[in-house]
A and B are shown apart, each in its own frame.
Chain A
Amino acid sequence: MKLIEKSQYTVLKGNYAVAHGVRLARVEVISAYPITPQTTIAEKLADMTATGELKARFITVESEHSAISAVIASSLAGARSFTATASQGLALMHEMLHWATGARAPVVMVNVNRALAPSWNIWTEQTDSLAQRDTGWIQIYNESNQEVLDTTILAFKIAERVYLPTMVVLDAFILSHTSEPVEIYPQELVDEFLPPYEHPNAINFDDPRAIGAFARPEYYMEFRYNIQKAHEEALRVFKEETELFADMFGRKYDTVEEFMLDDADYVLVLAGSTATTAKYAVAQLRERGEKVGIMRIKLFRPFPVEDVRRVLSGRKKVAVIDRNVSFGHSGIFYMETRAAMYGAKDRPPIFGYVAGLGGRDVRPQDIIDIYEDMKRREEPENIIWKGVRV
């Protein structure tokens, strides 16, 4: 019997899929602080560590700032380390997100996308994670609970090959608290995929180093250059590891997912679980003979410029649907997509839509409306609000 045949099929909420991913990755140090809709991740991992199902130290800190600080330190000291948060918690961590990258701590964090206050709002929106764009974290967005489990495992592999912290992102409630069938792989198979973690600078009393010491202008810039090079390497590593993952586990992921794109004149671009709704809408549009498909962005940092160009060049029109906004400009995936397409051959006009902020539903009909609106429009616009009452 092949190892993969020992998998168990079960029904899991997204947050529990995360916890099983963390367990299968044999994480050694966990620190997390409760925040809706992340809380059940922390609770599940507390259970798993209490029963011994997962042999790890769970540090019950007094804030997210301390949660991330703890796992950066434990990761640098040589233990595989994990935290999870959302929204306000992620914003509170901001200083340490830069620290994790600068110190080259391959921590993995799950962020459950939730809108930022005020007004208090616990529902899904991508602005929390996207606002951390320039902290140097690898960021991977997900569409289903299976993908969440798989990506949690993949994240450790990628992070630890390039020594960059990695954020796995899922939507509040739509994934975090919704049950879906999930395949849980046997431990032995995950062990084959993910070797034990080591850090080259971990504590060594024979060669006592100062980690994170101040660097004068004659050295600092090279550290930053190395981080950029690591991100470029991460793009290659992402491709390699998702291929290997497909061979071993039978599920293939890529930097971007292409849906009904073969002959598509029109492309909808988006990330996260809204893609499932969009796929349903696009299937309906296809039945009406519309030549439309979807490019779902999975890898946000490093940004897959080549893949985005390959997929979008030569199309008639593109609409980017953002569940986030960078005030004073536009949706963030839109901004990134446009920047990637600048200078590409046969660049289509790109239209920016902002929808579904603060958990407002994005329904199949909304997707169809956006598609028809884009088709009608002559001139691209940076920010077209969908579903706002003004």
Chain B
Amino acid sequence: MSWAWVEVKPNENDLMHPGHLACQGCGATIAARLALKVLGRKAVFVIPASCWSVIDGAWPQHALQIPVFHTAFETAAIAATGIRAALDMKGKHDVHVVAWAGDGGTFDIGLQALSGAAERNENIIYITYDNEAYMNTGIQRSSSTPLGAWTTTTPDERPEDKPKKNMMEILAAHRVPYAATASIAYPDDFIRKLKKATQVKGFRFIHLFSPCPPGWKMASNLSVRSARLAVETKIFPLYEIEDGEVYTITHWPKGLPVEEYFKLQGRFKPVLKDPDRLAYIQRYVETQWEKLVRLHEASHGYLPEEARATIRSAI
């Protein structure tokens, strides 16, 4: 038997090189590649315990072509703050210091340090790639795990019974200058938002939806499609909040039924078998969406035409 080797040459302009250790179809790698296209070489990534502690590579190699600081699980925001402080003291103000954390490191164990940094309006960019569970330790629930989902700690017999924590509202309550949701399935939207974030000073937050094929029990070619469906079903709306007050929805979804999204993923098998729960989740998604649309309307004084079609009840 003979082996055919194909040499993969890194693209000079691509700041994420081949050889990283993520699974096939990992949304978190798409996320980082896109982010670095905006951030460029003068960026530092601070990575707490997460899949990304592994993805970047084992010492002495690493895939990202920028300096990376690994740090303890709950310290992404504060370690980034420390690096920012050092760079500022050295007069190096032109570097983007980016905390790059999973949902567990953000919604749960890292929330305290995140809240501190957000409240002090530290001059850092915090990006959470959200795969809706603790994937690195083998798919346990986090407070980002959505209603109805299976994880190893919310087994099929007792699936997740609480809705996902609303991180954006928590950030809005801190009055941070910029917070946005984004999705790897909408690269233009994500890139625009990250660019905007780089032009703002102070604490900037991006909540980036990032599918995980093994954790979601789906085929590795479905990452982008599932991320797209999360948006089009209104489960994961794309919007931004400026100064904790001005809400802007950046993509008006088709409003597909939530089953369309659930059907792709084995983790929602228990919900799909339970019509009552499914109906409940659909209603929950509708009310959350309506609230968001109202906030957009209140911020801008009007709603665009395409907004009306997304709301079930009469306006």
Instruction: Enumerate chain A interface residues (CB-CB to B < 8 A).
Output: 28-29, 31, 55-57, 59-63, 65-66, 69-79, 81, 95-96, 99, 203-205, 208-216, 219
Query: Does A211 contact B82, Cβ atoms closer than 8 Å?
Result: no
CB-contacts of B74-103 with A (<8 A): 74-75, 78-83, 85-90, 95
Q: Are A203 and B79 in contact (CB-based, < 8 A)?
A: no
| A70-B79 contact given A203-B95, A210-B64, CB 8 Å threshold | yes
Q: Is the CB of A213 within 8 A of B72?
A: no
Enumerate chain A residues within 8 angstroms of B115, measured Cβ to Cβ.
62
Contact B78 A70 (CB under 8 A): yes
A78 — which chain B residues lie within 8 A by C-beta?
Answer: 86, 90
Q: Which residue on B lies nearest to A220, using beta carbons?
A: B59
20 contacts between A and B (CB under 8 A): A59-B81, A59-B120, A61-B116, A62-B113, A63-B113, A69-B71, A73-B80, A74-B83, A75-B82, A76-B69, A77-B83, A78-B90, A79-B86, A96-B72, A203-B95, A205-B41, A208-B41, A213-B58, A213-B70, A214-B59
Contact across chains for B72 and A95 when beta carbons are under 8 A apart: yes
CB pair B116–A79 under 8 Å, yes or no, is no
- Interface pair A205/B42, CB less than 8 Å apart: yes
A214 to chain B, nearest CB (A): 6
B53 contacts A by Cβ under 8 Å: yes
Closest chain-A Cβ to B136's Cβ sits at a distance in Å of 11
Interface membership of B311, Cβ < 8 A: no
Question: B69 — which chain A residues lie within 8 A by C-beta?
Answer: 73, 76-77, 210-212
User: CA of A212 to CA of B79 in the docked complex: distance in angstroms?
Assistant: 13
* A29 partner, pick from B68, B74, B86, beta carbons under 8 A: B86
CB-defined contacts of B59 to chain A, threshold 8 Å: 210, 213-216, 219
Closest A residue to B76 by beta carbon equals A69
Q: What residues on A are CB-neighbors of B42 within 8 Å?
A: 205
| A56 contacts across to B, CB distance below 8 A | 89
Contact of A208 among B67, B75, B113, B119 (CB under 8 A): B67
If A66-B113, A205-B42, A216-B58 touch, whether A73 touches B66 (CB-CB below 8 Å) is no
B113 cross-chain contacts in A, Cβ below 8 A? 61-63, 65-66, 69
Which listed residue, A57, A95, A204, touches B67 by the CB 8 Å rule? A204
Beyond the given A214-B70, A219-B60, could you list 11 further A-B residue pairs with CB under 8 A, ordered by the A residue number?
A: A29-B85, A63-B112, A72-B79, A76-B83, A78-B86, A203-B95, A205-B42, A209-B68, A212-B71, A215-B59, A216-B59
A74 and B58 within 8 A (CB)? no
B65 interface residue per 8 A CB criterion: yes
CB distance from B183 to the nearest CB of A (A): 27
- Tell me if B130 counts as interface (CB < 8 A to partner A): no
Q: Which residue of A lies closest to B54 (CB)?
A: A214
Contact of B66 with A205 in the complex, beta carbons under 8 Å: yes
Count class of interface residues, chain B = 35 or more
Residues of B within 8 A of A59 (CB): 81-82, 85, 120
Assess whether B71 is in contact with A210, with CB atoms less than 8 Å apart.
Answer: no
Q: Check if B160 is an interface residue, CB within 8 A of chain A.
A: no
List, in ascending order, chain B residues with CB within 8 A of A210's CB.
56-57, 59, 62, 64, 67-70
- Alpha-carbon separation in the docked complex, A299 to B163 (Å): 54
Are the C-beta atoms of B67 and A209 separated by less than 8 Å? yes
**What residues of chain B lie closer than 8 Å to A31, measured between beta carbons?**
82
- A66: chain B residues within 8 A (beta carbon): 75, 78, 112-113, 116
B271 interface contact, C-beta 8 A: no
Known A-B contacts A66-B116, A213-B56; the reply to A74 vs B72 at CB < 8 A is no
Q: How far is the CB of A16 from chain B (nearest CB, A)?
A: 24
Residues of chain A lying within 8 A (CB to CB) of residue B149: none
Are B71 and A29 in contact (CB-based, < 8 A)? no
Q: Does B46 contact A (CB under 8 A)?
A: yes
Q: B90 to chain A: which residues have CB within 8 Å?
A: 78-79
> Is the CB–CB distance between A215 and B78 below 8 Å?
no
Q: Is B293 an interface residue (CB 8 A)?
A: no
Residues on A with beta carbons closer than 8 Å to the beta carbon of B224: none
Across the interface, do A62 and B112 meet the contact criterion of CB distance under 8 Å? Answer: yes
Q: How far is the CB of A364 from chain B (nearest CB, A)?
A: 46
**Cβ-defined contact, B67 with A205, below 8 A:** yes
B44 at the interface (CB under 8 A from A): yes
Closest Cβ neighbor of B66 among chain A residues: A208
How far is it, in angstroms, between the C-alpha of A110 and the C-alpha of B303 when the chains are bound? 57
| Alpha-carbon distance A209/B86, docked complex (angstroms) | 17
